[in-house]
Amino acid sequence: MMGNTSVRRATLLVGATALIAGSVAACGSSAGSGSGSGGQTLTLYNAQHQQTTDAITAAFTKATGIKVRVVNDSEDVLTAQLEQEGGRSPADLFYTENSNWLQQLNTKGLLAKVKPATLQAVPRRDSAANGDWVGVSARISALVYNPSKISAAQLPTSILDLADPKYRGKFELAPSETDFWPLVSSVAKAKGNPAALTWLKGMKANVGGNDNIPDNETLTSDVSRGTTDFAVINHYYFYRLQAELGAGKVHAKLAYFTAGDPGYVKAISGVAILKSSKHQAAAQKFVQFMTSSAGQSVLAHGDGFEYPLKAGVAANPKLPPLTSYRPNAFDPADLGTGLNAKTLMQQAGLL
C-alpha cells in the first residue's frame, strides 16, 4: 500500500521524472521510436510505490518513445474505480503491489490476455492462471522487531501466535494496509474461515488501540524507535528505512515465521492490460518491457528492494537470495481476490 510516508518521499521525484521523460521524448532518441508507437500516451493506474513506477516508466519511454501518464492511488481505490468505469475506463494498464486486486478484476472479465511470450519471462505460478495478468516482482512477509524490546527467541513462530494473550500490547497492526490482506487470505486458506475469524478477533484483543496504524512504513518506523516490540510487514520496508536513515540508525532486525507457516507468504506484484484499452499493442509493449531483462533490472537497481521475477536478473545485493526463503506453497490463485479477507476483518472489527 502507498503509505503517507512513501507518498511524501515520492512527490520529490515526480517532477524530475516527468522532466526526464519529456526530454527523452523531445530528443527523439528512443530505441523503439521507429516502430510506429512513438507519440502514443498510455494511461497507467498505479498502486505500486511511486519511485518504482517512475523509474520503470521513464526507462520504457526512453526505450520505445511511448509516453506513460501515471494515475497514483491505493489498490482498493483504483480497483473500485476500474470496476465502476468498466469499458469506459481511460486506463490502459493497472500496476499493483498485491495480486489479489488483479485477481478481483480478472473475475470481473475486465482484463486482456497477456502475450504468451511475456508470460514465459517469469515463473508461471507467479502470474494469473488464465494469463490475464503477469507477475513483476516478489516480496516476502516478515517480522520486524526491536531487539532491545524483545529477543528473537521470544518472537512468535507462527502468525497464528499473534492471537496468544502473551503478546498482548507487544505489537502493532495495520489492517487497512492492503499488504496485510494476503496474509489473512493465507490463514483462511490454510485453516478455514471460522478459525481465521477467531484468530483475527484474538489479534484485535491483543493490539488494543494499536490496530489503526496506517501503513507498513509507520509500523517499521515505530518498531525501530521502540514504540512497539514487533510488527508484521513485507521485507522491503525494512530495507527502505535503512536506505533512508542509514543502517546504523535503524534499531530493528528482521525475522521470519516457521517454514511453510500461513503467515510466511511470498506476495506478488503484477501488471495487467485493461480489455477496454484503446492502445492494446502499446500496452502489450509496456507489459513486455516490465518483465524483460531491461525492465527487471530497473526494478532490481532501484530503491524499492523488491525481488525481480525473471531468471538471471539479480536482486539488490543487500537482499538475501529469494531462494533462501521458505514461504508456504500458496500461489496468487490460492490467495484469491482478497474480498474474503476484507469480510473477515470487518467481522472481527478490524476494518
Question: Does a structural domain hold residue 80?
Answer: yes
- Which of 8 and 82 is assigned the larger pLDDT? 82
168 with 78, same domain: the answer is no
Closest CA relative to residue 49, chosen from 224, 243, 213: 243
45 is in an annotated binding site: no
**330 in a structural domain:** no
Beta-bridge mates of residue 274: 111
Residue 30, domain member (yes or no):
no
258 and 119 both lie in a single domain: no
Domain that holds residue 89: 41-137+268-319
Residue 210: what pLDDT? 86
In a domain, 12, yes or no: no
Domain-located, residue 217: yes
- 237 labeled part of a ligand binding site: yes
Mean residue pLDDT of the chain comes to 90
**Same domain as 122, residue 224:** no
Q: Are residues 132 and 147 in the same domain?
A: no
More confident residue, 249 or 37: 249
Residues 6+ apart with CB under 8 A from 112: 132, 272, 273, 274, 275, 277, 280, 283
Residue 34 has pLDDT above 90, yes or no: no
pLDDT, residue 302, reads 85
Count: domains in the chain: 2
The predicted-structure confidence for 199-211, as pLDDT tens digits, reads as follows 999 999 999 888 8
Same domain, 124 and 56: yes
Share of the chain above pLDDT 70, in %: 89
Domain identity same for 130 and 275: yes
Tell me: is residue 235 an annotated ligand-binding position: no
Domain of residue 111, CATH code: 3.40.190.10
Q: Does some domain include residue 108?
A: yes
Say which DSSP state 46 is in.
Answer: E
Residue 75 marked ligand-binding: no
What percentage of residues in the chain have a pLDDT greater than 90? 85
In this structure, the answer to whether residues 156 and 246 fall within a common structural domain is yes
pLDDT in tens, 141-174: 999 999 999 999 999 999 999 999 999 999 999 9
CB 179 within 8 A of CB 97: yes
- In a shared domain, residues 132 and 144: no
Cell representation of residue 317:
545485493
pLDDT the model gives residue 38: 59
Element (H, E) at 271: strand 266-273
